[in-house]
C-alpha cells in the first residue's frame, strides 16, 4: 500500500507545472488527478478579483453542477475538504486563483490519504497557476503593445507621407510663384528707372515699392524652396577651391549699400595670407549673407564687424553687431525653423524665421557649424566655423559635384564623408591599397568617396617614376592609371606584369582587356575596380 501511495503522489506531483499555458497545464493536472485517484469527473474554476467563479475546464462535459451551489460548499479556502452530493463525494481543492472540484462515485477510496496528498500539492499548484497567469498577462500586454506599435508605425508612415506632400506642395507652389514674380520684379525695375520720362514722381515711387515688395517675396520663396530641398535631401553641393578673404571682400562690397543706407559702420579684418578651402562657395556665401543681413536688419546704430580667425583645424568667420541682441532663454531656439526672438520682432523687422535654420542646416551639410552668442540690448555674435579639411555630412555622393579644374589636391587629404554605412554594403576584407596615377579628380571623385567609405586605402601620384618608387617600398593590390598625359606607359605596364600587379588603364583611345575608355569612367570604373579585387 505504501508503494501505491508513493507512486500516486509522484504521478500527481509530476503533472503540475509542465507548461506555461494555463489550459494545457490544468488539462494535464485535471486528467491525472481524476484518473489516478479513480474519480469520475473534475472541474477547474478561476476566481476573479470579486471572488466570482468562472468555469475554466472540465474533465468530462457530460454533467456539471451549479457553480453557486459548489461555491456555497466552500467553508475554508485554506484546506482540502469533501462533501456528499447525490450519492457522490466531491473533493474541494481551494487555490489562490481558483478551485478544483474532484467528483467520486467510489466511496471506498482512501479519502484521508487523498485529502492529505492534495493538501501538500496546493503550494506547487498555486505557483504553477500564478506563473501561467503571469505569462498570459505578458502575452496580452505584448499583443496590445504590438498592436499599438503597428498603429504608431502606420501613423508615422502617414505623417511621413503627409510631410512629403507638404514639401512637394511648397516646392511646386514656390516654383509656380517665382515665374510671374520674376516678371513683376524685372518690369517694375525697368519702369522705376523711367527712361522715357512717361511716369510722374508718384508713379515711379509706386514702381519702386512694387519692386522692393517683389524682391522681399522672392527671398521668402527662395527660403521655402531651400527648406523643401533640405527636407527632401535634394540639396546639391558644388565643391571648388575658394579664397575666403576674397569671398568675404566681395560679400562686404555687395552689402555696403545697405550699411550706408542705415548709417552704420562695417569693418572687416582680412588675414594677411590667402586661405584656400575646398567647399561650396555659393552655400558659404548664402550663409554669410544671411548672418550679415540679420546684423544690418537688427542694428539701428553702431558698428558691424566681420572677423576672420584661423587655428590649426578650422577657419572661423565672426559677424559681430551692436544690435538689439537676443535674450538667453530665446537664444537656444534661434536656429529652429520659423523662430525669431519673439513675435514683436517679426512684426517690426519682418522675415520668416527661416534664414538661420537654413544656414545652420547648410553649414552642417558642409561639415561646418554655426554658433550664436548674444546679450540683450547689447548685440550678437554669430560664428561660422569651417573645417580646413572638407567633411561632407548626411548627403549622398551623387549630390556632390567637384570642379575638375581643381587638380592639385588628393581626395584622401580633403574629403571625408560622415554618413552611416550599411552593414551589407561593407566588405569583409578591409584596408586594401590602390595607387592612382595622374587621375582626373572630377570624374574620379565619387569613386574615391565610395572606396574610402569601404576602408580602401588610396594613394595618388602624378608620374610613372614616382609610382615606381612607391611600389618598390609598399604593397598595393591594384594600380589605376590615366594614360592621357603619361609617357613610357607601355614600359610601366610591363613593370606591373613582372611584379604580378593588377592594373587598370583609363585610356582616351583604347578599350581592351585591362583598359577602359575615359568616357566610361563614371559608369564602369568602380565595377571594374571591385571586380579586379574580387568583390
The answer, yes or no, to whether residue 428 has pLDDT greater than 50, is no
Q: To 5 degrees, how large is the angle CA 25–CA 29–CA 30?
A: 115
Residue with the bigger pLDDT between 390 and 45: it is 45
| The pLDDT value given to residue 410 | 46
How much is the pLDDT for 419? Answer: 40
Q: Which residues pair with 381 in a beta bridge?
A: 320, 373
| Phi-psi group of 197: left, alpha or beta (phi > 0 → left; psi -120 to 50 → alpha; rest → beta) | left
CA distances from residue 32 to 12, 18, 59, 135, 285 in whole angstroms, order as listed: 6, 12, 10, 23, 85
Average pLDDT over residues 40-46: 91
| Range of weakest confidence among 272-281, 472-481, 503-512 | 503-512
* Listed range (229-233, 278-282, 463-467, 492-496) with the worst mean pLDDT: 229-233
Mean pLDDT of the chain, nearest integer: 82
- The region of weakest confidence among 27-36, 334-343, 412-421 is 412-421
Backbone angles phi, psi at 18, to 5 degrees: -85, 0
Higher pLDDT, 66 or 260: 260
Spell out the residues 6+ positions from residue 3 whose beta carbon is closer than 8 angstroms to its own: none
- Highest average pLDDT, of 172-181, 346-355, 471-480, 512-521, comes from 471-480
pLDDT for 423: 38
- From CA 77, how far away is CA 47, in angstroms rounded? 12
Q: Measure the CA–CA gap between 510 and 521, rounded to whole angstroms.
A: 13
pTM flag (> 0.85): no
Grid coordinates belonging to 73: 460548499
In this predicted structure, the answer to whether residue 414 has a pLDDT above a threshold of 60 is: no
pLDDT score at 351? 60
| Higher-scoring residue by pLDDT: 21, 347 | 21
Confidence grade of residue 408 (pLDDT, cut at 50, 70, 90): very low
For the cut 90, the answer to whether the pLDDT of residue 321 exceeds it is yes
Q: Is 126 exposed, middle or buried (0-12, 13-18, 19+ CB in 10 A)?
A: middle
Among 240-244, 425-429, 454-458, the range scoring the smallest mean pLDDT is 425-429
**Within a 13 Å sphere around the CA of 299, how many CA atoms are in the beta-carbon half?**
29
Amino acid at each position: 500500500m505504501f508503494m501505491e501511495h508513493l507512486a500516486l503522489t509522484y504521478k500527481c506531483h509530476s503533472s503540475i507545472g509542465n507548461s506555461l499555458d494555463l489550459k494545457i497545464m490544468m488539462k494535464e493536472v485535471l486528467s491525472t488527478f481524476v484518473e489516478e485517484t479513480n474519480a469520475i469527473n473534475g472541474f477547474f474554476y478561476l476566481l476573479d478579483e470579486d471572488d466570482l467563479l468562472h468555469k475554466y475546464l472540465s474533465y468530462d462535459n457530460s454533467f456539471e453542477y451549479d457553480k453557486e451551489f459548489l461555491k456555497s460548499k466552500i467553508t475554508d479556502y485554506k484546506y482540502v475538504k469533501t462533501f456528499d452530493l447525490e450519492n457522490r463525494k466531491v473533493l474541494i481543492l481551494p487555490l489562490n486563483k481558483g478551485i478544483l472540484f474532484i467528483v467520486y462515485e467510489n466511496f471506498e477510496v482512501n479519502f484521508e490519504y487523498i485529502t492529505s496528498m492534495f493538501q501538500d500539492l496546493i503550494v506547487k499548484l498555486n505557483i504553477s497557476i500564478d506563473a501561467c497567469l503571469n505569462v498570459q498577462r505578458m502575452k496580452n500586454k505584448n499583443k496590445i503593445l504590438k498592436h499599438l506599435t503597428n498603429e504608431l508605425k502606420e501613423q508615422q508612415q502617414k505623417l511621413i507621407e503627409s510631410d512629403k506632400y507638404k514639401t512637394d506642395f511648397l516646392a511646386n507652389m514656390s516654383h509656380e510663384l517665382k515665374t510671374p514674380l520674376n516678371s513683376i520684379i524685372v518690369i517694375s525695375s525697368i519702369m522705376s528707372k523711367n527712361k522715357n520720362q512717361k511716369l510722374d514722381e508718384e508713379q515711379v515711387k509706386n514702381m519702386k515699392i512694387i519692386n522692393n515688395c517683389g524682391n522681399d517675396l522672392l527671398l521668402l520663396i527662395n527660403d521655402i524652396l531651400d527648406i523643401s530641398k533640405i527636407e527632401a535631401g535634394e540639396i546639391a553641393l558644388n565643391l571648388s577651391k575658394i579664397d575666403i578673404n576674397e569671398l568675404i571682400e566681395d560679400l562686404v562690397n555687395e552689402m555696403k549699400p545697405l550699411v550706408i543706407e542705415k548709417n552704420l559702420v562695417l569693418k572687416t579684418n582680412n588675414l594677411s595670407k590667402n586661405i584656400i578651402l575646398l567647399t561650396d562657395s555659393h552655400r558659404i556665401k548664402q550663409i554669410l549673407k544671411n548672418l550679415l543681413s540679420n546684423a544690418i536688419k537688427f542694428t539701428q546704430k553702431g558698428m558691424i564687424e566681420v572677423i576672420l580667425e584661423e587655428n590649426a583645424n578650422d577657419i572661423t568667420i565672426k559677424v559681430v553687431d551692436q544690435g538689439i541682441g537676443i535674450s538667453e532663454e530665446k537664444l537656444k531656439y534661434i536656429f529652429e525653423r520659423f523662430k525669431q526672438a519673439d513675435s514683436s520682432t517679426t512684426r517690426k523687422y519682418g522675415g520668416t524665421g527661416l534664414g538661420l535654420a537654413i544656414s545652420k542646416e547648410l553649414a552642417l551639410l558642409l561639415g561646418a557649424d554655426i554658433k550664436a552668442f548674444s546679450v540683450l540690448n547689447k548685440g550678437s555674435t554669430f560664428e561660422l566655423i569651417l573645417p580646413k579639411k572638407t567633411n561632407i555630412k548626411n548627403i549622398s555622393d551623387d549630390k556632390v559635384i567637384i570642379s575638375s579644374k581643381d587638380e592639385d589636391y588628393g581626395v584622401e587629404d580633403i574629403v571625408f564623408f560622415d554618413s552611416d554605412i550599411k552593414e551589407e554594403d561593407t566588405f569583409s576584407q578591409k584596408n586594401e591599397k590602390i595607387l592612382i596615377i595622374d587621375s582626373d579628380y572630377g570624374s574620379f571623385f565619387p569613386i574615391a568617396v565610395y572606396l574610402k567609405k569601404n576602408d580602401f586605402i588610396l594613394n595618388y601620384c602624378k608620374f610613372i617614376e614616382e609610382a615606381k618608387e612607391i611600389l618598390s617600398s609598399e604593397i598595393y593590390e591594384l594600380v589605376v592609371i590615366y594614360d592621357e598625359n603619361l609617357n613610357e606607359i607601355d614600359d610601366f605596364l610591363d613593370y606591373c606584369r613582372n611584379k604580378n600587379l593588377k592594373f587598370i588603364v583609363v585610356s582616351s583611345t583604347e578599350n581592351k582587356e585591362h583598359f577602359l575608355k575615359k568616357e566610361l569612367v563614371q559608369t564602369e570604373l568602380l565595377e571594374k575596380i571591385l571586380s579586379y579585387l574580387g568583390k
